[in-house]
């Protein structure tokens, strides 16, 4: 009887469940906003008392005991957490934009960002990142450890000349970390593909919450011949199919012809009328940036070449690459300015 009842009312009950879940999400958001706002006000009060009358460790410990006595069972008022409230206020009080953003995410995620992000630019990135993707604290911590900020910044710089060619590329990065995949030292593309599918949840976490898995060895028929795309996803935000070709080795120019062919097949025979043009990603173990630039220069296809690592990226290496790219842009802009001034 219970199964029959569930089948009979399945549609209606699911609609009611959706109403409940939407309301719960709104309630959780409202509660979180109030809690973070309260912590902000306490942090502000404490910061001012420390500066004006010299409140210190003993006063904060007394306040912690006072709260526990008068509000038994209330969490969040340990002496350590109260000092964190002060640090939160002092970290963001000079930046009105960021102080508004921090109320959009959980207290735990705020602590993670406050501890690990070192600049306002990086803090803003992760505040928006956590808010948009609704990450748990574990997921956010993994993304920060995977240096998503540095990699996305590099991606934006590298793809800048091609932005008008393919807006869909903004969903893809220049580098991916697949440290969650366990592969032997010597492996083939098929092994990598199977490992990704077996760890699909972590793979999508690395690529972005808006990616939905469509299939592996995805068949497209052109003429009388079958072709198989390694992985196909759909991006909900961009409303387009994403074809991914896996390469165990360095990027070669002929790989572009392959991904362009697959994109044409998807757009001609698979893409729905309301969807945007398909986007392609060639994921390889290494690439020469100059070779990549030449390969993309005359291509009108929305495709990107990225490399991947089977371990978390080295922060120093990425920071060095980011500085080099920024210095190159500044030098180019300076030369253009000088040419305009001299009339050369």
Tell me: do 165 and 111 sit in the same domain: no
Domain that holds residue 6: 2-146
pLDDT in tens, 188-241: 999 999 999 999 989 998 888 789 999 999 999 999 999 999 999 999 888 999
Domain edge (last residue) among 127, 146, 165? 146
Same domain flag for 224 and 298: yes
Tens of pLDDT, residue by residue over 245-281, are: 999 999 999 999 999 999 999 999 999 999 999 999 9
pLDDT at 336 over 50: yes
pLDDT confidence bin for 30, thresholds 50/70/90: confident
What average pLDDT does the segment 48-69 reach? 90
User: Per the structure, how many domains does the chain have?
Assistant: 2
- Among residues 95, 118, 146, the one where a domain terminates is 146
Q: How confident is the model at residue 164 (pLDDT cuts 50, 70, 90)?
A: very low
**pLDDT for 195:** 94
**Res 19: pLDDT:** 76
Q: What does residue 201 show for φ and ψ, rounded to 5 degrees?
A: -60, -45
pLDDT for position 22:
73
pLDDT of residue 141: 92
Same domain, 68 and 132: yes
Secondary structure E strands in the chain: 175-177, 211-222, 225-235, 240-250, 279-286, 303-309
> Is the per-residue pLDDT at 167 higher than 70?
no
Please indicate, yes or no, if residue 331 is contained in any of the structural domains.
Answer: no
Residue 226 belongs to a domain: yes
319 domain residue, yes or no: no
Q: Do residues 121 and 180 share a domain? A: no
Length of the chain: 344
Q: Higher pLDDT residue, 48 or 133?
A: 48
Residue 285 falls inside a structural domain: yes
Give me the mean pLDDT over the 26-43 stretch: 86
Q: Is residue 306 part of a domain?
A: yes
Q: Say if 296 falls within a structural domain.
A: yes
List all residues 6 or more positions away from 262 whose beta carbon is below 8 Å from its beta carbon.
220, 227, 229, 243, 245, 280
Is 199 exposed, middle or buried, given 0-12, 13-18 or 19+ CB atoms closer than 10 A? middle
* Helical segments of 54-188, H only: 57-70, 79-92, 96-101, 107-116, 120-133, 137-145, 148-159
160 and 308 part of one domain = yes
Residue 344 lies in a domain: no
- Looking at the chain, the whole-number percentage of residues with pLDDT higher than 70 is 87
Same domain for 274 and 306: yes
Average pLDDT over residues 88-100: 94
Instruction: Specify whether 304 is located in the same domain as 223.
Output: yes
**146, 173, 194 - which closes a domain:** 146
CATH of the domain at 270: 3.40.1350.10
Torsion of CA 65, 71, 73, 78, to 10 degrees: -30
One domain, residues 12 and 70: yes
Residue 194: what are its φ and ψ, rounded to 5°?
A: -65, -40
Report whether pLDDT(320) > 60. yes
Instruction: For residues 177 and 51, state if they share a domain.
Output: no
Assigned domain for 329 exists: no
Edge-first strand listing for the sheet containing 211-222: 175-177, 303-309, 279-286, 240-250, 225-235, 211-222
On whether both 97 and 230 belong to a single domain, the answer is no
Whether 167 and 120 map to the same domain: the answer is: no
Structure confidence at residue 1 (pLDDT): 44
- Are 141 and 154 in a shared domain? no
- Looking at residue 329, its pLDDT comes to 65
Query: For residue 240, with 0-12 CB atoms within 10 Å meaning exposed, 13-18 middle and 19 or more buried, which class applies?
Result: buried
Does 24 score more than 90 pLDDT? no
């Amino acid at each position: 009887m219970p199964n029959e009842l569930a089948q009979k009312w399945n549609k209606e009950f699911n609609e009611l469940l959706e109403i409940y879940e939407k309301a719960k999400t709104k309630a959780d958001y409202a509660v979180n906003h109030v809690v973070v706002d309260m912590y902000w006000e306490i942090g502000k009060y404490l910061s001012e008392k420390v500066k004006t009358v010299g409140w210190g460790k003993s006063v904060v410990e007394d306040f912690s005991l006072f709260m526990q006595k008068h509000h038994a069972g209330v969490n969040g008022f340990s002496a350590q957490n109260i000092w964190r409230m002060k640090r939160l206020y002092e970290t963001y009080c000079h930046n009105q934009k960021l102080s508004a953003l921090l109320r959009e995410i959980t207290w735990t995620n705020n602590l993670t960002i406050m501890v690990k992000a070192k600049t306002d630019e990086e803090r803003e990135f992760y505040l928006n990142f956590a808010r948009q993707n609704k990450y748990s604290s574990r997921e956010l911590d993994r993304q920060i450890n995977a240096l998503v900020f540095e990699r996305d910044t590099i991606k934006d710089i590298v793809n800048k000349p091609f932005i008008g060619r393919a807006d869909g590329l903004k969903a893809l990065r220049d580098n991916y970390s697949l440290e969650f995949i366990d592969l032997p030292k010597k492996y083939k593309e098929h092994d990598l593909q199977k490992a990704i599918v077996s760890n699909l949840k972590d793979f999508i976490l690395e690529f972005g919450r808006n990616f939905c898995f469509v299939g592996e060895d995805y068949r497209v028929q052109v003429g009388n011949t079958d072709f198989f795309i390694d992985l196909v996803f759909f991006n909900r935000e961009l409303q387009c199919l994403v074809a991914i070709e896996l390469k165990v080795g360095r990027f070669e120019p002929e790989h572009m012809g392959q991904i362009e062919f697959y994109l044409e097949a998807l757009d001609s025979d698979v893409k729905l009328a309301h969807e945007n043009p398909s986007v392609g990603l060639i994921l390889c173990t290494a690439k020469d940036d100059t070779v990549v630039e030449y390969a993309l220069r005359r291509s009108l296809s929305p495709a990107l070449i990225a490399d991947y690592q089977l371990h978390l990226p080295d922060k120093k290496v990425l920071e060095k690459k980011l500085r080099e790219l920024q210095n190159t842009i500044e030098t180019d802009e300076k030369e253009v300015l000088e040419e305009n001034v001299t009339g050369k």
